């Protein structure tokens, strides 16, 4: 007798990821390399692996959630919070890129 087993299939985003033009042309990672794979790991529930792949993923998510929320809700210090989150995100991207490049050479 044939048994049916339920399976959960998730969309494999790796089939739809864009290649890094900087890496293809110059052979070096760009500051955004790993972002798509990190989002894929987040969607699969692998939070630590997502951070290891691209450390700026969480500051980006915090910034995006604040930007979306602030479009519906007025905050008293919205500009200052937005500036601080943007600086934190940019700083995380730059620092993680420098650390990645130092380990490369």
- Residues contacting residue 79 through CB under 8 Å, at least 6 positions apart: none
- More confident call, 104 vs 87: 87
Q: 36 near 12, Cβ under 8 Å?
A: no
pLDDT, position 7: 44
**pLDDT score recorded for residue 5:** 52
Read off the pLDDT of residues 55-94 as tens digits, 9 standing for 90 and up.
Answer: 999 999 999 999 999 999 998 999 999 999 999 999 999 9
Average pLDDT over residues 29-44: 88
Domain spans, the chain: 30-104
**At 49, is the pLDDT very low, low, confident or very high (cuts 50, 70, 90)?**
very high
Considering Cα of 32, then 67, then 59, then 48, what sign does the dihedral take? negative
Q: Which residues are CB-neighbours of 16 under 8 A, at least 6 positions away?
A: none
CA distance 99 to 91: 12
Judged against a pLDDT cut of 80, whether residue 42 lies above it is answered with yes
Q: Record the pTM.
A: 0.78
Give the whole-number percent of the chain exceeding pLDDT 90.
47
pLDDT value of position 4 = 56
Q: Is 88 helix (H, G, I), strand (E, B) or coil?
A: helix
């Amino acid at each position: 007798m044939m048994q049916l087993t339920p399976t959960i299939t998730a969309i494999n985003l790796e089939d739809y990821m864009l290649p890094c033009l900087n890496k293809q042309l110059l052979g070096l990672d760009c500051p955004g390399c790993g972002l798509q794979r990190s989002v894929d790991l987040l969607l699969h529930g692998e939070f630590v692996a997502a951070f290891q792949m691209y450390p700026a993923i969480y500051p980006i998510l915090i910034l995006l959630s604040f930007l979306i929320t602030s479009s519906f809700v007025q905050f008293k210090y919205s500009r200052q919070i937005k500036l601080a989150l943007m600086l934190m995100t940019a700083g995380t991207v730059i620092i993680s890129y420098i650390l990645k490049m130092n380990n490369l050479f």
